[in-house]
Amino acid sequence: MFTFKETKIKDVYVIEPKVFGDNRGYFMETYKKEDFDNAGLKYNFVQDNQSKSKKGVLRGLHYQKNFPQAKLVRVISGEVFDVAVDLRKDSPTYGQWVGEILTSENKKMLMIPRGFAHGFMVLSETAEFTYKCDEVYHPEDEGGIMWNDPDVGVEWPSDIEPLLSEKDQKHPSLKESKISF
């Protein structure tokens, strides 16, 4: 049982699972193909990934050039600010972004279709982040746009200094990358 809420960008959804809890703890489904299919989110997930990062780590904004991935993302411990940037060339929201705070407490998930750049910043001391992908990862196919591209204008939490990988520090702007799907 899930609640599917479309964001301001078509095809990007915030998904809230039904959580059954009592004094022993809780139980929830994190994915059920039939429910997602019925909501119009028909994906064939083929790979699950998990990462752990410390406070301030900013990963992104990443995409796969020739093998784009749809991703269902969630946090299993901690808190992150998660972002998707629309790179679909014919989309009326091309270059726009949507962000959502995902936590182990709120249990929200973000469904990001193919054709988006994705990234997140860790807000808690540490965070564990998981995602299901509908295409396997191809390291040679990775691309990215700069996390602070002024034309995209992602409003990252300003009270945390971002910690970026060397690779993420070198991504071009969206205009320079000329990427679209």
Range of the domain at 112: 2-177
pTM, to two decimals: 0.96
The per-residue pLDDT for range 114-136, each reduced to its tens digit, is 999 999 999 999 999 999 999 99
Tell me how far apart the alpha carbons of residues 19 and 48 are, in angstroms, rounded to a whole number. 22
Tell me how far apart the alpha carbons of residues 166 and 151 are, in angstroms, rounded to a whole number. 22
Q: What is the pLDDT of residue 35?
A: 98
Neighbour tally for 157: CB within 10 Å: 14
**Which 8-state DSSP code applies to residue 57?**
B
Tell me how far apart the alpha carbons of residues 26 and 32 are, in angstroms, rounded to a whole number. 17
The CATH number linked to 54 is 2.60.120.10
The total of structural domains in the chain comes to 1
Neighbour tally for 145: CB within 10 Å: 26
Query: Catalytic site residues?
Result: 62, 131
On the question of pLDDT at 151 being above 90, the answer is yes
Three-class DSSP category at 37: helix
The mean predicted confidence, pLDDT, of the chain is: 97
State the average pLDDT over residues 62-79.
97
Q: Residue 61: is the preceding peptide bond cis (ω within 30°)?
A: yes
The per-residue pLDDT for range 33-70, each reduced to its tens digit, is 999 999 999 999 999 999 999 999 999 999 999 999 99
